[in-house]
Amino acid sequence: MALSAYKDNSAIVTGASSGIGREMALQLADQGAWLTLTARNTQALEQVAAECRKRGARAIVVTADVSDEAQCKKIIEAAVAEYGRIDTLINNAGFGQGGYFESLPNLETFRQVMDVNFMGTVYCAHHALPHLKKACGRIVSISSIMGLVGVPMYSSYSASKFAMTGFAEVIRMELMGSGVSVTSIHPNFVVSEFAGRLLKPDGTPLGDKGKRIYTSRTMTSSVCARLTLQAAAKRKRHVVMTPSGKLVVFMHGLVPGLVDKVMRKMFGKK
């Protein structure tokens, strides 16, 4: 399918300041989209926007924290004020915390993970929905393989991504016949700033140690962005991105107890 689905398409990308979101912004720019780029880091967003404009796209920057509903409303209003419509909402902003649930000293970061990954998606979808319906638009959510199969050490992250999956399942059904499609994306590991920003149980970043999960075979943000935009253009229901991810999901449906043991062995306390 040609990616011209995004020509003159008013697209909001949350978490556009780095990683997968930045790559989606650049690829959408190449296809002539009208971009609303949002995250908390204004300087990084301005650099992405400048690169998008160089590629011939229109781009505005809205600095916002998606865990705050009022700021999500502001993102939507800014997109409508600039372009008069919203065709695509990409809920991509997110982060994670590692560590056994019992090792968390308090639940502050747990709540933040839910607020950013899950509620950020809900707030943006809620405020964008009337506009998306007018445009027969697309809602795209960057969940994770951990939104389909739980992984030890990632209770808050898995919970937030399962919540995103459940939310997408329901609104997809509710929006049948409206013209609005809902696509859930379930990547495995992707090279980005994500692993370095993973928080430890005490809420401090893991830093470079986190990046040890990346190998030369890990999917790049650019490939993840391309597969995501292709799937959304085709209005696919969901995408499990890698063969290993597909295998884990299949096996989990077949022999969940065995998958629990394998996951525990791979990711759990040694």
Ligand X SMILES: NC(=O)c1ccc[n+]([C@@H]2O[C@H](COP(=O)([O-])OP(=O)(O)OC[C@H]3O[C@@H](n4cnc5c(N)ncnc54)[C@H](OP(=O)(O)O)[C@@H]3O)[C@@H](O)[C@H]2O)c1
Footprint on this chain of ligand X (rule: CB under 6 A): 14-21, 39-41, 44, 65-67, 92-95, 116-117, 142, 144, 187, 189-190, 192-194, 197, 221
In whole angstroms, the minimum distance from the beta carbon of 189 to ligand X comes to 4
Is there a contact between 193 and 95 (Cβ–Cβ < 8 Å)?
A: no
* Marked catalytic residue, from 6, 154, 157, 214: 157
Indicate left, alpha or beta for 31 from its phi (over 0: left) and psi (-120 to 50: alpha).
alpha
Q: Which is nearer to ligand X, 135 or 214 (by Cβ)?
A: 214
- Look at residues 168, 161, 163 and name the one whose alpha carbon lies nearest to residue 89: 168
From the CB of 181, what's the least distance to ligand X, in Å? 19
Q: Please, which residue, 83 or 189, has the CB nearer to ligand X?
A: 189
**Closest separation in Å from C-beta 136 to ligand X:** 25
Which lies closer to ligand X via its Cβ, residue 19 or residue 98? Answer: 19
Phi-psi bin for 37: left (phi > 0), alpha (psi -120 to 50), beta?
beta
How far apart CA 115 and CA 155 sit, in angstroms, is 14
Q: Provide the minimum distance between the beta carbon of 241 and ligand X in the complex, in angstroms, as a whole number.
A: 8
- Is 123 an active-site residue? no
At 152, give phi and psi (nearest 5°): -55, 150
Which among 148, 176, 140, 98 has a CA at the least distance from the CA of 9?
140
Q: Least distance to ligand X from the beta carbon of 54, Å?
A: 20
Identity of the residue, 144 or 183, whose beta carbon is nearer to ligand X in the bound complex: 144
In the bound state with ligand X, the residue whose beta carbon lies nearer, of 95 and 162, is: 95
**∠ CA 53-58-60 to the nearest 5 degrees?**
95
Phi, psi of 84 (to 5 degrees): 80, 0
Catalytic residues: 157
